């Protein structure tokens, strides 16, 4: 069994290799090929990965190449984790957005729009090669903006693809920690798009504990009440005593909003619910997140280049992407072994809800087995969230049209459609800036 990793020079790669080492036997893994167009990153990451595998006693081979066709030839699974333009382009996105008094984040708002326009052509090229070199392969896409890119792949190519994000798993793991239970005991009724998702219900061993969790999160109490009767409630208070405030996930939402929603928004929804506040946060920051990551990566690359090192560095935790390897490899394992397990991933709606087109990619619970990820019924989506979902989905679909067809008009309409984008009277100035900085070839039709 062969896995090709496109973007193998990513500093994330050792986390992925660690997971592959742990699951080598269950995957029947023979060979991993790391592909990257940047030799200055690929060589040290490849060498470090080989040392990791060697010291662990792993039997699978690790190769590296700059040649995309060589990497893809005969692959059973292709993992995409590349970033067009690197962290420097991410930094430029943020600064361009702030110049126009807009939120600049790598997957949200205008920053996500710019990243998507850079990424779609590169992903289309990867998929064109997959169709020729590995037509039966499964593409596991981690490249951001993951949901948008996955929809482009599914609707514009013949490649079998599933989009992956670590946020749903991170929310599940955090919920398990906060509730004092095993992750396998937790089920999330989760709905939305990538980086635009809500937990509608939380179940522990089939028991709905959403009300208790929301009451805890919105409580003004600082001490455990004497009538904290249920095991779930006691567990929440015990976690707070032992480890500080409980976050499911990193909650910074007002209690009144959580009460009104009746559900738990994921981290990225802060940008939509509190855009003025988040814009101020971005403007006040001494460094962009891209600059912080570049500093972390510089230190990580020194570790990877040191021939004496063969253990995944703890510094990698500060890079972000918690549970990425776990999410990716459990997904691959479920497909290979026909596990028919529940995973929250990015797939076509396919009738799961009547509220979006059938071919629109959503981030929802699915059953994963040999035939891929089949979405579970979502039903009608609550009015308090469906409006935002539809607006962002319209933005995504216009962005895909712009990226695939180099369509200037679609790009302009995408910007105007984005809830965090500029008003129509400023949109063209912003778009021209994005085209200039990224050297895009969009043409008005």
The pLDDT confidence band at residue 212, using thresholds 50, 70 and 90, is confident
Report the distance separating Cα 150 and Cα 136, nearest Å: 17
Task: Specify the range with the lowest mean pLDDT, choosing from 69-78, 245-254, 320-329, 382-391.
Answer: 245-254
Q: Indicate which residue of 268, 271, 272, 323 is catalytic.
A: 268
- Distance from chain centroid for Cα 271: 16
pTM > 0.85: yes or no: yes
The reported pLDDT for the residue numbered 230 is: 58
Over residues 24-45, the mean pLDDT reads 97
Kindly state the tokens that stand for 228.
């904290």
pLDDT in tens, 114-163: 999 999 999 999 999 999 999 999 999 999 999 999 999 999 999 999 99
The reported pLDDT for the residue numbered 395 is: 98
The reported pLDDT for the residue numbered 232 is: 59
Q: Which residue has the higher pLDDT, 352 or 237?
A: 352
- Percentage helix, strand, coil, to 5, in the chain? 50, 15, 30
The reported pLDDT for the residue numbered 227 is: 52
Which 3 state secondary structure label does DSSP give 203?
strand
Question: What proportion of the chain, given as a percentage, has pLDDT over 70?
Answer: 92
The reported pLDDT for the residue numbered 21 is: 97
Q: Which residues contact 89 (CB under 8 A, 6 or more apart)?
A: 83, 115, 118, 438
pLDDT at position 221 over 90: no
The pLDDT confidence band at residue 30, using thresholds 50, 70 and 90, is very high
Over residues 253-267, the mean pLDDT reads 90
What backbone phi and psi angles, to 5 degrees, belong to 144?
-85, 155
Q: Which residues contact 349 (CB under 8 A, 6 or more apart)?
A: 356, 357, 358, 359, 360, 361, 362, 364, 375
Beta-strand relationship, 196-204 and 186-193? antiparallel
Q: Output the average pLDDT for the chain.
A: 92
pLDDT at position 243 over 90: no
Is 324 one of the catalytic residues? no
Handedness of CA 132, 134, 136, 138 (dihedral sign): negative
The reported pLDDT for the residue numbered 235 is: 55
pLDDT in tens, 156-206: 999 999 999 999 999 999 888 888 889 999 999 999 999 999 999 999 999
pLDDT at position 246 over 70: no
Q: Which domains does the chain have, with CATH numbers?
A: 2-163+288-316 (3.40.50.720), 385-438 (no CATH)
The reported pLDDT for the residue numbered 244 is: 42
Task: Specify the range with the lowest mean pLDDT, choosing from 17-26, 233-242, 277-286.
Answer: 233-242
Query: How far is residue 82 from each of residues 10, 217, 246, 326, measured CA to CA in Å?
Result: 7, 37, 33, 18
pLDDT at position 82 over 60: yes
pLDDT at position 218 over 90: no
Which 3 state secondary structure label does DSSP give 366?
strand
Report the distance separating Cα 204 and Cα 184, nearest Å: 9
Report the distance separating Cα 224 and Cα 356, nearest Å: 43
């Amino acid at each position: 069994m062969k896995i090709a990793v496109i973007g193998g020079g990513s500093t994330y790669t050792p986390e992925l290799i660690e997971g592959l080492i742990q699951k080598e036997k269950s995957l029947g893994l023979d060979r991993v090929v790391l592909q990257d167009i940047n030799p200055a990153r690929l060589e040290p990451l490849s060498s470090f990965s080989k040392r990791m595998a060697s010291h662990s006693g792993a039997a699978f081979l690790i190769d590296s190449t700059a040649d995309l066709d060589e990497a893809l030839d005969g692959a059973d699974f292709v993992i995409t984790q590349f970033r067009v333009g690197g962290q420097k382009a991410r930094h430029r996105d943020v600064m361009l957005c702030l110049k126009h008094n807009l939120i600049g984040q790598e997957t949200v708002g205008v920053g996500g729009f710019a990243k998507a326009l850079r990424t779609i052509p590169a992903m289309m090229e990867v998929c064109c090669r997959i169709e020729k070199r590995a037509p039966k392969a499964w593409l596991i896409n981690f490249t951001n903006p993951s949901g948008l890119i996955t929809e482009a792949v599914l609707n514009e190519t013949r490649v079998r693809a599933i989009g992956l994000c670590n946020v749903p798993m991170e929310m599940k793991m955090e919920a398990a920690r906060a509730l004092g239970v095993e992750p396998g005991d937790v089920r999330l009724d989760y709905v939305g798009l990538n980086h635009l998702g809500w937990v509608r219900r939380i179940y522990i061993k089939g028991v709905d504990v959403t009300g208790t969790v929301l009451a805890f999160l919105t409580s003004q109490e600082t001490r455990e009440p004497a009538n904290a009767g249920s095991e779930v409630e006691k567990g929440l208070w015990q976690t707070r005593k032992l480890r500080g405030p409980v976050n499911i996930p990193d909650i910074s939402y007002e209690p009144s909003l959580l009460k009104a929603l009746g559900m738990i928004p994921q981290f990225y929804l802060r940008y939509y619910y509190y855009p003025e506040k988040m814009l101020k946060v971005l403007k006040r920051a001494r460094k962009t997140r891209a600059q912080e990551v570049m500093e972390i990566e510089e230190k990580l690359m020194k570790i990877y280049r040191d021939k004496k090192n063969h253990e995944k560095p703890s510094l990698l935790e500060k890079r972000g992407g918690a549970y990425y390897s776990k999410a990716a490899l459990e997904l691959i394992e479920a497909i290979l072994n026909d596990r028919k397990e529940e995973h929250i991933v990015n797939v076509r709606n396919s009738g799961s809800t009547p509220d979006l087109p059938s071919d629109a990619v959503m981030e929802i619970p699915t059953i994963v087995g040999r035939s891929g990820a089949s979405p579970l019924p979502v039903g009608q989506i609550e009015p308090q969230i469906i409006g935002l979902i539809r607006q962002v989905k319209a933005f995504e679909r216009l962005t895909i049209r712009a990226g695939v067809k180099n369509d200037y008009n679609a790009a302009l309409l995408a910007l105007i459609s984005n809830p965090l984008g500029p008003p129509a009277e400023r949109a063209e100035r912003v778009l021209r800036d994005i085209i200039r900085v990224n050297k895009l070839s969009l043409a008005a039709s």
